[in-house]
Structure 1
Amino acid sequence: MHFGEKIKVLRESKELLQRQLAATLEIDTPMFSKIERGERRAKREQVIQLAELLKTDSKELLSIWLADQIFELIANEDSALDALELAEKRIKQI
């Protein structure tokens, strides 16, 4: 599940409207709609705000958000899996 799908599921489970969350994030409703559809990226600060508003784990939401960004960056690369393995090793070292 990508970030936008997760936000939509959480928002609908709380019976909130897009415009309510958009207003709190200080963006317009069409922008929020694009975030839910995966057409725009939310900013890191917005992800944290959304976690608070939707009463969900910010670490999980940030992980999904970051995974989407990584996927977009390497999806069409032939050596994507190799690159991910190398990155994983480096992350484990720090």
Structure 2
Amino acid sequence: MTIGQRIRQLREESGMKQRELAAKLDIGEGFLSKVENDQKLLKREDLKKLSEFFNVAHSDLETLWLANKVYDLIKDENQGLEALKVAEEQAKYVRK
């Protein structure tokens, strides 16, 4: 699941319209539509607002948000998947 899909899911489960959530986040409805369709990314600070609105863990939303940023970096790279594997190994090494 992407961050956009999760935001849409949370919004729909709460019965909230896009315009209502957009107003709470102080963004345009069109921008929120693009966020939900994974064409745009919210600011990191908006994740805290979302976690409070929908009573979900901030860390879960942040994980999806970061995954989206990583994917955007590697999606058009020929060696993107291989680079992601190397980065994962480096992260494991650093955490030890």
Question: Aligning the two structures, in what range does the TM-score lie when normalised by the shorter sequence?
Answer: 0.7 to 0.9
1:19 aligns with 2:15: no
Q: Extract unaligned runs of 5+ from structure 1.
A: none
Matches within 5 A, 1:14-93: 14-92=14-92, 93=94
How far residue 81 of structure 1 moved from its aligned partner, in angstroms, is 2.4
| Percent identity for Structure 1 against Structure 2 | 36
Query: Structure 2 length as normaliser, TM-score?
Result: 0.86
How far apart are the structure 1 equivalents of 2:78 and 2:28?
38
Secondary structure (helix, strand or coil) at the match of 1:34 reads helix
Residue 37 of structure 1 and its aligned partner are, at CA, apart by: 1.3
Alpha-carbon distance in structure 1 between the residues aligned to 2:4 and 2:20: 16
TM-score by length of 1: 0.88
Paired positions, count:
94
CA distance in 2, matches of 1:9, 1:18: 11
SS in structure 1 of the partner of residue 78 of structure 2: coil
| Larger displacement relative to structure 2 (4-13 or 81-90) | 81-90
